[in-house]
Every structure is written in C-alpha cells, then in structure tokens.
Amino acid sequence: MDHCDVIVVGLGAMGSATTYQLAKRGARVVGIDRFSPPHVFGSSHGDTRVTRHAIGEGSAYVPLVLRSHELWREIEAETGAELLTVNGCLVMSESSSTHSHASDFLATTVASAKQYGIEHEMLDVAEVRRRFPQFQLTGGQPAYYEPGAGFLRPEKAIEAQLQLAQRYGATLRRNERVLSVKFSGSGVTVTTTQGQYGADQVVIAAGPWLSELLEPEFARLFTVYRQLLHWFDIDGPLEPMTPEHLPVFIWQLGSRTNGIFYGFPAINGPGGGLKVATEQYETHTEPDTAQREVAEFEVAEMYDTYIRGRLPALTSRAVKSTACLYTVTRDFEFVIDRHPERHNLIICSPCSGHGFKHSAAIGEVVAQMAIDGATAINVEPFSLRRFFELGTP
C-alpha cells in the first residue's frame, strides 16, 4: 500500500485547488476522483461561474474571494489558461425582496463593498436602462454595479489546477471511486475500486457525494438540490450580449417563491445562446439518481417566469440546458473544517451555489490547515462545530 502525506478525495473545484496547493508546498499528495474531472456530474460544469468581491451571502466570504482573484491570475500566468474575465456585475432588485441565501442580498452586497472598500456604483433604474438597455428593469431599488467582478471558467480552472498539481509532483487517480475511509491512531486508509492507499491525513472534497463518505450524524448536515442551467437563443445582433457590452447579472424579483435569477454574457459565439439560471430549494435529490435531462416544461417555466419581459433579446428556445447539483447546509454556509473527533480528516464542502469563486483560496486554506495547522484567512464561520452548538444537527 502506498503511503503519502495527504489524500484528497474528489478533484472538482475544491479538490483540484487543494491538491495543487498541497503539491506546491511540497506535500506528497494523491488526488482521487470517481470520474475524470472536469466532468458534468457534480457541481462544477456549465461554462461560467459568477465572481464578485462584495459578497451578498455575507462579508465573511470576502477575504476568500479577494485571495482567489490573486490566485486565478497566478494560475493563468503559470498555465496560459484564460480563467477570469472581468466584465462587471450588476445586482438588480425589483423590490426589497428576500434572497434565498441572505435576508437581503443587495443590502449585504453594498455593506460588504463599503466594509472592504470595493469599488462600486449605485445606479438608479433609469441609469441601468441607459447603460444596459439589454435589461428591461422597470422598477425597484438602485442597482449595485461592481466593475471588478466578472466570471470564471470552471472547467478550465479545474483542468489548470490539476495540470499544475501534477507538475508539482501530485499523483492523480482518475475514474477510481473511493469506497471507504478508515482511521487508525496515526493515519488513514482509503479503499478505492482499484486498491488501498495510506496517508497521514485525508481531505474529503466530494461535493454532492460528500455524505456517502461521512458518518450519519455528519452526513445529514448536507442536502443536495438539482439546479438547471439554460442557454437561450439570441434574437438579433450578438455584440450587445458579449462580455465587452454585458456584465454578469443577478436579478432579484419581488416574489418570495421565485426569488432570483442570474446570467452571463454570451461567450459561445453565434448560435451559442446566453446562459441564465435560477435556484430551487423545494425538492432535494441524490447525486447518483438525480435527473440529468432537462424537460421541455422546465425550459418553458424558466423563460416564462424570469426571462420574458426582462431580456427582450432572448427567444424562448433554449440552445441547450443542463442539470447541476448544489450541496447545501441548513444555514447555507460552507463547511471547511477538521472533523471534531477524527483529527486527520478535513471536510471541505463549500457549495451552496456560490463556492466556485472562493475555490482557489479554499484550496490554499485547506493546504495550510493540513500542513501548518493554521490558516491565513479566518474560516471559523465555516466550522462544523456551529451545527452542534446550535443543537441537534
């Protein structure tokens, strides 16, 4: 049985970043994934992810995203990959509505920007329509515009970090499923479909499959929800919908049930469509049985509820649609922590629909946790302990 310093289970957004950062620090690391990342079965596919500095989910996340932006640029310089496009982000609210992650997403965004001195502008509805006529905003609060925000390319980011991990000496095991993780006094034994590996420590970054590898009292902290991404066809010229002219956007509606949708500029050329999505927390699923196909009625529902009357250049025809999985804790915050009883296990589950933008820094934090025992960024708000202090998990 091979023995190394750290085994990373899962090589998606968090696992690829962690494996790269560990290898860069000279750790002997083995990264294992049941598929061959990047792939379309977890939480990290679909061309683009929003990134913004002022975090509407809470200012505790801001240091992670600020560091991530530095790391994305480092990774780009090391690999030549284009990962981060800065084209601005516009947060619009049709009323003082409730966001599903935060009691008032727009207000928290503005407060985070003020706290961290993040460059932004507040645009009234008329100004939004003047500057971005692609959006038909008809009322609501002044919108938040952050010029330094933009979008990431998740698949390329995973690919680049895995490439660097290997360059720094990591061993990557693809298409090999971890079946169990067993702990002894000094180390861990990981059994996979192809063998056994020993290590001093293990990081579990298995995304939607996390619960399968944890004891029931921890597994039940995580719930998986199927989410849909749609690329709607553009009627008319492509240029106004490209990153040079259109920021990424988050649009809060007035109603509680249909709270929010968001979208990206068109990056796939003529016929590639423009990507939009919303969120649902009504129906949970299991990662192995989640319905991957998107039904016609789901496309129509997205268009009728969110797009019609707001993005006039989009037709009701989706060029493509796909399903993707959120892994959510009951307070919607991340978990980045050592297991309270198993000191050689670090659990890394930062999904809840907004983890990608933080993932480069999370990889660094987890590597620091594993090697140094202390982290440069405070991840205390993402502790496991909080659930047990709150009462029965």
Contact footprint for ligand FAD (CB under 6 A): 9-15, 32-35, 37, 42-44, 49-50, 177-178, 205-209, 227, 229, 277, 324-326, 349-351, 353-357
CB 234 within 8 A of CB 315: yes
Give the sheet arrangement for strand 150-152, strand by strand: 49-51, 150-152, 84-86
Residues with Cβ within 8 Å of residue 264, at least 6 apart in sequence? 47, 48, 50, 151, 248, 274, 275, 276
Q: Checking DSSP bridges between strand 29-32 and strand 2-9, what pairing results, if any?
A: parallel
CB 108 within 8 A of CB 250: no
Q: How far is the CB of 359 from ligand FAD (least distance, A)?
A: 6
Q: How far is the CB of 41 from ligand FAD (least distance, A)?
A: 6
Residues with Cβ within 8 Å of residue 347, at least 6 apart in sequence? 204, 210, 214, 218, 335, 336, 337, 338, 339, 384
CB 268 within 8 A of CB 47: yes
Q: How far is the CB of 322 from ligand FAD (least distance, A)?
A: 8
Q: How far is the CB of 151 from ligand FAD (least distance, A)?
A: 7
Give strand pairing partners of 144: 91, 122
Q: Is 226 or 310 the residue whose CB approaches ligand FAD more closely?
A: 226
Q: Is 15 or 273 the residue whose CB approaches ligand FAD more closely?
A: 15
**276 three-state secondary structure:** strand
**Residue of minimal CB distance from ligand FAD?**
12
Q: Which of the 8 DSSP states describes residue 304?
A: I
| Token output for 357 | 């933008």
Task: Show the CA angle centred on residue 55, arms to residues 49 and 61, nearest 5°.
Answer: 95
| Cis-peptide into 38, omega within 30 deg | yes
Q: Is 12 or 392 the residue whose CB approaches ligand FAD more closely?
A: 12
Q: How far is the CB of 288 from ligand FAD (least distance, A)?
A: 10
Q: Is 125 or 179 the residue whose CB approaches ligand FAD more closely?
A: 179
Q: How far is the CB of 237 from ligand FAD (least distance, A)?
A: 26
Q: Is 99 or 354 the residue whose CB approaches ligand FAD more closely?
A: 354
Residues with Cβ within 8 Å of residue 106, at least 6 apart in sequence? 56, 91, 93, 99, 141, 144, 252
Q: Is 135 or 356 the residue whose CB approaches ligand FAD more closely?
A: 356
Q: Is 58 or 312 the residue whose CB approaches ligand FAD more closely?
A: 58
The DSSP annotation for 363-374 comes to: HHHHHHHHHTSS
Q: How far is the CB of 124 from ligand FAD (least distance, A)?
A: 26
Q: Is 134 or 352 the residue whose CB approaches ligand FAD more closely?
A: 352
Q: How far is the CB of 39 from ligand FAD (least distance, A)?
A: 6
